[in-house]
Amino acid sequence: MQLYKNQELKIYNSLTSKKEVFKPINEGYIGMYVCGPTVYSNVHLGNVRTFMSFDMVFRYFKHLGYKVRYVRNITDAGHLENDADEGEDRIAKKARIEQIEPMEVVQMYTVDFHNTLNKFNFLPPSIEPTATGHIIEQIEIIKEILDKGLAYEVNGSVYFDVHKFNKTHNYGKLSGRNLEDLIHNTRTLDGQSDKKNPQDFALWKKAEPQHIMRWPSPWSDGFPGWHLECTAMSTKYLGEQFDIHGGGMDLKFPHHECEIAQAEACNNQSPVNVWMHANMLTLNSQKMAKSTGNNILPNEIFTGKNDKLSKPFSPSVTRFFMMQAHYRSILDFSSVAIEASERGFNKLMDAINTLSKLEVSKNTTNFNISSWKQSCYDAMNDDFNTPILIAELFSAVKFINQVKDEKATISQEDFDILTSTLNVFVFDVLGLQNVSDNDASGSNKLSDTVELLINMRAEARANKDFALSDKIRDELADIGIQLKDGKDGTTFTTN
């Protein structure tokens, strides 16, 4: 169903710094490219947040009825330390330290990347190309840029001539940087670089004798520059101009800026209509960094084997935590924050589980379901505003609990709309999973245990042992299990 025809979606475009009504180049079809991981270590939580944001975007596009070609690359060569043009390849360095082949490093951490994203219930991209699988395409782009006179070769390396390019184009338009300011703030290192200007960037680097990863080219045995792979793969699979390019905020400059320059040098047109950037994740209000120890890996969250959190948290709770912030906002991860998210997640899942058991016997509904449903779409149509969407979902949670407590009624028609809409936005769009469904055995054991305690409490009350009765109720409440006494007996909810 082509829902997109009835929904006006606005997306914040980093290129224009404003929200714009989204119109794909070809109606009904979307081409989206997202910069993937450099696979030299375990994927960290900040990267996961970026990829999760675009998984949510991908899911919403699909729900609206678009046919989406989603390309997310794997960087397995060419990404030097400190994102520079000099130094050692990150993967080659890891291979040297571990005394294994670079492709063993790539395989190890690509598998880890996929396993981690699967735990978070990511949809796979349409295409997941690798840098090493597209060396020929990258060499051909370099030849074309050289032919246009916008690159130069020195001692077997090829550099993009930013100054010459800027005479007819606008280098810096994405990040808002002025080339004259970049020149003014750059310290010249005479004799330490083959570049004509410090702002120039590598398209091809000649490999030093100790450099493990190398390929033959017309200029030298070497390797492509980091920025080039994304231009090669995005244009190969999505065309010279496509709808959306995404990535982390840290990639805006220089990576994405250089991508624009390379593509415009080849095709003389802007390669992307909408640039989207996800913001960073901090840990306890500080930047995540392995070097300082202020870091936590996804598996450490799931197992509880860390010194940052009080207990383990499921992938779905962690995903819910991330969806509670807008993708363009800085999000701080802490024990207090994820514990609060867990309580909210449990309330949402309890309401969804309750919904299927509601009595539908009235012709009237004390809640405007149609208006609420459109409010959910309005939230997502406003630059994928997941926190507003979640607030709308909790309006439905409140209503479900009112119906359960016989303080409100719902018609069959509205019940069907409410059920389908919750399923769409909770599971299909936000990508959450009902943990009780995935862990039925554990859930059943919990229910059986609580029911046993409820029966013990009922027996204590019958014996007028109110001290024991209150103790059972209060100690269950302390661990997040609320008992509620009603005319049909005692029920419980988890917080």
pLDDT, tens digit (0-9, with 9 covering 90-100), for 222-235:
999 999 999 999 99
Pairing of strands 331-333, 222-224: unpaired
> What mean pLDDT is reported for the chain?
92
pLDDT at 440 over 60: no
Residue 258 has what DSSP assignment?
H
Neighbours of 441 (CB within 10 A): 7
56 φ, ψ (degrees, to nearest 5): -65, -45
> Nearest to residue 283, comparing CAs of 314, 305, 307?
307
Summarised one tens digit per residue, pLDDT across range 88-119 is 889 999 999 999 999 999 999 999 999 999 99
pLDDT of residue 293: 79
Q: Answer with the residue of higher pLDDT: 60 or 180.
A: 60
Q: Which amino acid is at 259?
A: E
DSSP run (H or E) holding 243: strand 242-248
Structure tokens at 181: 């300011």
Neighbours of 196 (CB within 10 A): 14
Strand partners, 337: none
CATH 3.40.50.620 residue window(s) in the chain = 3-278
pLDDT at 192 over 90: no
pLDDT at 330 over 60: yes
Q: Answer with the residue of higher pLDDT: 189 or 126.
A: 126
pLDDT at 322 over 90: yes
Three-class SS of residue 491? strand
Residue range 283-304: mean pLDDT, rounded: 88
DSSP run (H or E) holding 443: helix 440-462
| Architecture of the domain defined by 3-278 | 3-Layer(aba) Sandwich (3.40)
What are the CA-CA distances from residue 394 to residues 159, 342, 420 (Å)? 54, 14, 15
- Within 8 A by CB and 6+ apart from 214, the residues are 207, 221, 222, 223
Q: 282-436 — its CATH code?
A: 1.10.730
Q: Integer distance in angstroms from the first to the last C-alpha of the chain?
A: 37
pLDDT at 446 over 80: no
Give CA–CA dist 493/477, Å, rounded.
10
Q: Answer with the residue of higher pLDDT: 290 or 226.
A: 226
Give CA–CA dist 409/368, Å, rounded.
12
Summarised one tens digit per residue, pLDDT across range 245-289 is 999 999 999 999 999 999 999 999 999 999 999 999 999 999 887
Q: Answer with the residue of higher pLDDT: 474 or 66.
A: 66
CA angle centred on 55, ends 54 and 56, rounded to 5°: 85
pLDDT of residue 486: 75
For 454-489, give the secondary structure using H, E and C: HHHHHHHHHCCCHHHHHHHHHHHHHCCEEEEEECCE
pLDDT at 244 over 60: yes
pLDDT at 354 over 50: yes
Structure tokens at 20: 């714009």
